[in-house]
Structure formats: C-alpha cells, structure tokens
Amino acid sequence: MPSAGAPGQGGGPTGRVRATRRNVAARLVAEGGRRLGSLLLAVLIGRRLGLEGFGAHAYVTALCSLAAVGADFGLRTLMVREGASRGAGASEWAAQAFWLRQCLALVSAAALLLLAPHLDVDPWLVALGAVWVVLFAAVDSLGGWGLALREPGYEAGAAWIQRGGTVVLAALLLMAGWGLRGVWAGQAAGAAAALAFLLASRRLPRPRLASRPDPRLWGPIFTAALPLGLAAFASVLQTRVLWFLLERWQGKATLALFAAAAKFFELGQALPALVLGAAFPLLAESQSRDPEAVRRGAARLSRVLAAVMLPYAVVLAWRGRPLLEVFGKDFGGSQAAMPPLMLALLFSSWNFLWTALLVAAGDSWGALAGVVGAVAITSSAGALFLRTCGLAGVAWIQGSAEVWMTVFYLWRLRSRHGIATGWAGVAWRAAACGAAGSAAALSLPGLAGASAGVLAAAGTAWALGLLRAADRDLLRAGAAA
C-alpha cells in the first residue's frame, strides 16, 4: 500500500478530500461530455436520416458496444481497483493489463469483421466500428489508470475531445451526403484524436507502456478480471438482446423508436456513473479497513441517487414527448416506452452502487450472478412476448430485469457481507417524492416544469449534504493507512 504522501494519492485526509473533489468534478465533465455528445449525435442522425437510418445506427451501436465490452472484459475496473490499492507501484502490472486489453480489442474487431457479411447492415459501418473498438480500448485504459492515481482530468479532456470531434466531423459528413458511413468515420476519428491527446500529455500518469508485452503475465490478470468481464458483458447484453430481437421481429423503425427513448435512459445513467466512478477508488481502499464507514457511506449515496434521479424520471415519464420529438416528428411514438423506462432507470441507478459495493468487497462473482439472472429474464421474456408487444412492453421487460438485480444485490450484500444499506429508509422517501412529483406533473401540466425544478433543486441540495457526509465516512476509513 502506498504511503499517505505517495504521488497522486494526496497527503493525509486533507489531500484525499481535495482528490475526491477533483475526481467528482472531472468525472462530471467526462460523463457530461460522453452523454451529451451521444445525445447530440443521435439527434443529428434522427433528423437527417429518419427512423430507418436511426434504427440502422442503433443496431450497429449495439454490436459495437458488445465488442467494446468484450475488449475491456473487466480490465479497466481491475486497473482502477489495483491502482487505488497499490498506487504507482502497480504501473508494471497495469502495462501488461493494457497490452492484454489491446489484444482482446483486436480479437473483438476481427469478430465484427467476420460477422459483417452476414448482417443486415452496411459492412462498411461494421468495419469502421471495429476500428473504433480498438482505439476506444486504448483511450479507456489510459483514462482509467489516471483516475486510479487521482488524476482524472485527462480522462475528462479525452472524453470531450472524442465526443466533440465525433459530433463535428459526423455533422459535416452527414451534410456532405455520407450517411451513416460518415457518422462512424467520425466515431473512429474522434477516438483517434482522444488517444493522441492522452499520449501527448506528458504529465499523465500512465502504465510503463515501454515494457514489452509479456503473455506469461496475462493469465493471472485475465483470471482476476474474468468475473468482472463476464458481468460487464452480461450487463450490456441484458439490454442489447432486446434491441436485436426487436430489430429482427419488428424492424428497424420500431428499434429506432425504442432506441430514442433509451437515449434518455442512458443520459440519466450519467449521474450514478459519475458518483460511483469518483467513489469506487475510495470504496475499494476503505472496505478492508472500516466496513462500517463503507456501509454508512453507501446508505447515504443511495439517498443521493434517490433525491436527484426522481425529478428527472418523473418529468420524462409523463412529459417527455417534446424532448423525444427533437429527434424528429416521427419519434413522438417513443413516449409509450418512457414511463416504464424511467422506473427502470431508478432501479438501475441503485444497481450501479450495489455492484460497486460487491466489487469493492471482492465479490465479483456475486455481481456476475445478478446480471446473469437479468439476462435470463430479458432473453426469455423477449423470446415469449417481443413478437407482439408494443414499446411499453419492451420497456417493462427491461424494468423487470433491473428490479431483479436490485433485490438480488441487496440480499447478497446483507447475507454474505453484512452490509445493510438502509434500503427501507430510501424506499419510503423515494415513494413519497415520486408520488409528490407525479401528482404535480399530472395535475398541473402548465407548471410541471417549474414544480420539477423546485423539487430538483431541493433534492440536489439534500443530496449534496448527504454526499459530503458519505465522503467524510469513506475518507476517514481511507485515511487509516
């Protein structure tokens, strides 16, 4: 374990507080860049290419996201955990993890290229997606290592360069008539620009990439990452399997409607990704020293997510149609999927936290078991009902999988690790806030936005107070080094 004054780790509790604040701010910038860039790109495609074009883009995105997770296979999470625990002393190990991930990225890209002739989509889109998978793996590894060593600003910069470059170039190529080929050329170019930025940043703490790849060391690294990788792959498959079945049985236009609603689901996931991205190094560092502080911090973090996510979910569930029509007038039908998707979003935000707690406690197989159950639910329910159900039915299938994971993870945390998260208190507060917000949005349609704004401001203020308290608990445990 590095000393309190190790580079990148901060000196004592005060340094850790500063590092945590810097992590939160940088993660906010990074996640904001990723999610907003993705939304802007989706709007451009929907308005320019319509339902069929947007559906084809969603299909290729689903394929490439699975390939990207296969290339990662839990290695980024493992790098963050090892970096938080061992500091810069893990640099040689991280270099081998980096090279292993690049090899997995090449395998995933090759698999995409082999599949391309057999898919109902332009092979050039899949080829450009394969290039993006390889470049993104390198960008994500370097950004994750910087986060582990408390230097997350570089990841934030890379995220904005990647998404900004993608949106600008894709917009230009779309207007030039390149269609989806232009979009995916922009995706690959944006990832290349972000990688160039990270490699050119001399102060970025990065693994010793000058070290030669040593396949003899890859076996233990891959074994350690295996449950994390399987869980991550299954987590993406849990939603993407619905997309594949929907495209096959109801066509690309129906997939486009559901994918447009899912964009706001993914945008809402930015907050839990931010909170857990910043808190995970502290959770991993504190779990072995002060489990009670981790339990208190987790309970407060769960209330943070409840306070901030409810206003967003309530407003979009009942008044999301104008936002959906930003994609184009044909996308108004996506509103049917919004109420169940927003309910699923609430459970999904909590599942981010429960998964991080399990991984920090060393129970990666428990995290995997929950996701495998969710995949079984979406696959079986999709095969039974997806031929005939509407968009709301598809969203309810996804929501049921999220509820299953919440129930399973809470049971696992309590029974195996003795971590009680204060869920009962969160549940009744969430129900009360949700009922109040729903009543305001339904009974006062003209004032729904104002009501939601007041609720969001109050909830955010409450959440910030709880977040500071959670930080104090976690930092006190982390300062015991």
Contact 207, 88 (CB under 8 A): no
- Provide the 10 A C-beta neighbour count for residue 183: 28
Q: Pick the most confident of 7-11, 78-82, 178-182, 314-318.
A: 178-182
Q: CA-to-CA distance for 132 and 192, rounded, in angstroms?
A: 8
Contacts of 242 (CB under 8 A, 6+ apart): 258, 378, 382, 386, 394, 397, 398
In this model, does residue 134 exceed pLDDT 50?
Answer: yes
Looking at residue 456, what is its pLDDT?
A: 47
Q: Average per-residue pLDDT in the chain?
A: 74
Please calculate the CA angle 156-162-163 and round it to the nearest 5 degrees. 90
Contact 373, 293 (CB under 8 A): no
- Residue 343, pLDDT > 70, answer yes
More confident residue, 329 or 135: 135
User: In the prediction, which pLDDT does 88 show?
Assistant: 58
Higher pLDDT, 238 or 280: 238
Is the distance from CB of 313 to CB of 237 less than 8 angstroms? Answer: no
Contacts of 352 (CB under 8 A, 6+ apart): 269, 272, 273, 275, 276, 305
**In terms of pLDDT, which residue wins out, 4 or 245?**
245
What pLDDT shows up at residue 106? 93
What proportions of the chain, in percent to the nearest 5, are helix, strand and coil? 85, 0, 15
Which of 78-82, 109-113, 115-119, 345-349 is the most confident on average? 109-113
The CA distance from 128 to 187, in Å, is 8
pLDDT digits (tens, 9 = 90+) for 229-278: 787 788 788 888 888 888 888 888 888 889 888 888 888 887 777 666 65
So where are the chain's domains? 1-213, 226-481
Shortest CA distance to 430 belongs to which of 396, 465, 463, 394?
Answer: 463
Q: How far, in Å, CA of 141 to CA of 101, rounded?
A: 8
**In the chain, % of residues over pLDDT 90:** 6
Question: How many Å apart are CA 241 and CA 67, to the nearest integer?
Answer: 14
The set of residues, in sequence order, having a beta carbon less than 8 Å from that of 450 and lying 6+ positions away, is none
Q: Which residues contact 403 (CB under 8 A, 6 or more apart)?
A: 347
Most confident of 65-69, 323-327, 330-334: 65-69
Task: Return the DSSP state at 420.
Answer: -
> Residues 165, 186: contact at Cβ < 8 Å?
yes
pTM of structure: 0.71
In sequence order, which residues have a C-beta less than 8 Å from that of residue 354 and are 6 or more positions away? 370, 405, 406, 409, 410, 413, 421
Q: Mean pLDDT across the stretch 45-51? A: 85
Give the model confidence (pLDDT) of 369-396 as tens digits.
888 888 888 888 888 888 888 888 888 8
pLDDT band at 463 (very low <50, low <70, confident <90, very high): very low
End-to-end Cα distance, the chain:
8
Among 376, 375, 378, 410, smallest CA distance to 393 is for 378
Cα–Cα distance, 471 to 22 (Å, whole number): 13
**What is the predicted pLDDT for the residue at 285?**
58
Cα distance between residue 69 and residue 233, in whole Å:
6
- pLDDT band at residue 73 using 50, 70 and 90 as cut-offs: confident
Q: Tell me the residue type at 248.
A: R
